[in-house]
A and B are shown apart, each in its own frame.
Chain A
């Protein structure tokens, strides 16, 4: 026969286990949720980074005023409308017409627009510079492989 004391101890043990299980499930839910959330956010970052302007040949632009719209971001929260003016074959002005995200006081898009204005004249086919060394490239590969090794 089991003594009363023994039974009590076992019960305590069970309670502890239940507590741990709840904690583990809670952490797992947080973890999975976080991972899904982060993967969504990072996907959005990748999307933002890789949005190309390459599709535009800045050497072949017809004069006029054009309106462009982009529905970007999760739940389209980066939706914006923009007006671009081309004069004498060059982009001369970029104006934000509407945006879900930006208020009038928020101006970080202006830097970006200035970069586009600048870049149209700086579109390059290839780059001249002090001779690159292939060793630098090989070093990169080596460093990557070092991480792969245990």
Chain B
């Protein structure tokens, strides 16, 4: 028996599907888990641990749960590894762009540059014994947007396992994690959205026990009053939406959090740096699409990735 639920949380649509007994209980538990994580990690919920920490920026330390501590430490590790292409202190920059989006105005370059020094993961101070965390400068803020959905997807899969499910998936608005094989023992077929054709896919990857996360420039964006288009994946170094030549980056990994962070990092770093990440994380696979709609994949998935008609694949 299988069942699927859909709900709105963490700013997106989340669907969970499980096969097994007691599907209603497990789906309810999965929903409650997402609600709990959102309450702990969202900076848009005023009493979340992250919000409290952001309010104390430049003032002092905030006590956090071991989960939040772990997530923040992981976030900083990804920042170090990517030389700042990924930064969880990106909050002030995200706020700046959100403001521009709601006003539909061209972002003020000088204002943007004045905000940029606030974005720096080096300013997060950790006290491991006390499990407290602080932001050094006033006005700094944590935004776990680049890692939080992956982290939560891993937690949902943990819930499925705790309830004895053998098969299922969770999809956080495009951020997918699958568990096991399908009940007929075949792998899960995950469509990869076409970055330029709406309601269309560019290919299908068949996987078991994997997370498949895509970063693309096509979903969250805005057009200002001068007609310039800005997508939502910000390069913390320049302050502007990333222009690396890649328009869609899919990462397959065992950990959804890892896939989430690495899809953003590779999107910003560009095609020329992808080999470095494939070496550092030998377990991952990638599907990259550039502006000219050329498709590149890592060699490990050449047998389980199929594209739609007339699309050629280059193997990295």
- New A-B contacts (4) at CB < 8 Å, excluding given A128-B193, A131-B11, A131-B174: A122-B204, A126-B176, A127-B192, A132-B174
Interface of B is mostly: strand
Chain A interface size band reads 20 to 34
What residues of chain A lie closer than 8 Å to B190, measured between beta carbons? 124-128
Kindly state the interface size class of chain B when it binds its partner.
35 or more
Partner of B191, one of A59, A124, A132: A124
CB-CB under 8 A from B214, the residues of chain A are 128-130
Residue in B174, B189, B309 whose CB lies within 8 Å of A123: B189
Query: B143 interface residue, CB < 8 Å from A?
Result: no
| Residues of B with C-beta under 8 A to A127 | 171, 174, 176, 190-193, 201
Considering the chains assembled together, what is the distance between the CA atoms of A8 and B271 in angstroms?
92
As a 0/1 sequence over residues 62 to 92 of chain A, the CB contacts with chain B under 8 angstroms (1 = contact) are 0000000000000000000000000000000
Which A positions have Cβ atoms within 8 angstroms of B? 59-60, 114, 118, 121-135, 137
Residue ID in chain B nearest A133 by CB atoms: B220
What is the bound-complex CA distance between A137 and B173, given in angstroms? 12
Pick the contact of B308: A118, A126, A129, A133 (CB < 8 A). Answer: A118
**A-B residue pairs in contact (CB < 8 Å), sample of 27:** A60-B184, A118-B308, A121-B204, A121-B306, A122-B201, A125-B189, A126-B17, A126-B169, A126-B188, A127-B192, A127-B201, A128-B171, A128-B214, A129-B214, A130-B195, A130-B217, A130-B219, A130-B248, A131-B12, A131-B175, A132-B12, A132-B174, A133-B12, A133-B220, A134-B8, A135-B11, A137-B13
* Cα of A121 to Cα of B306 in the assembled complex, Å: 8
In the assembled complex, B277 has its CB within 8 A of some CB on chain A: no
Hey, which chain B residues are within 8 Å of A114, CB to CB? 309
* B218 close to chain A: CB less than 8 A: yes
Chain A minimum-CB-distance residue to B149: A131
Residues of B within 8 A of A (CB): 8, 11-13, 15, 17, 149, 169, 171-176, 178, 182, 184, 186, 188-193, 195, 201, 203-204, 212-220, 248, 250, 306, 308-309
Residue of A nearest to B172 (CB): A131
Q: Determine whether the beta carbon of A131 is less than 8 Å from that of B173.
A: yes
Give Cα distance in the complex from A127 to B13, angstroms: 12
**Cα–Cα, bound, A134→B38 (Å):** 15
Q: Are B219 and A133 in contact (CB under 8 A)?
A: yes
- Pair A130/B220 contact, Cβ less than 8 Å: yes
Interface pair B12/A128, CB less than 8 Å apart: no
Q: Quick check: A126 and B171 within 8 Å, CB to CB?
A: yes
Across the interface, do A133 and B173 meet the contact criterion of CB distance under 8 Å? yes
A126 adjacent to B204 (CB under 8 Å): no
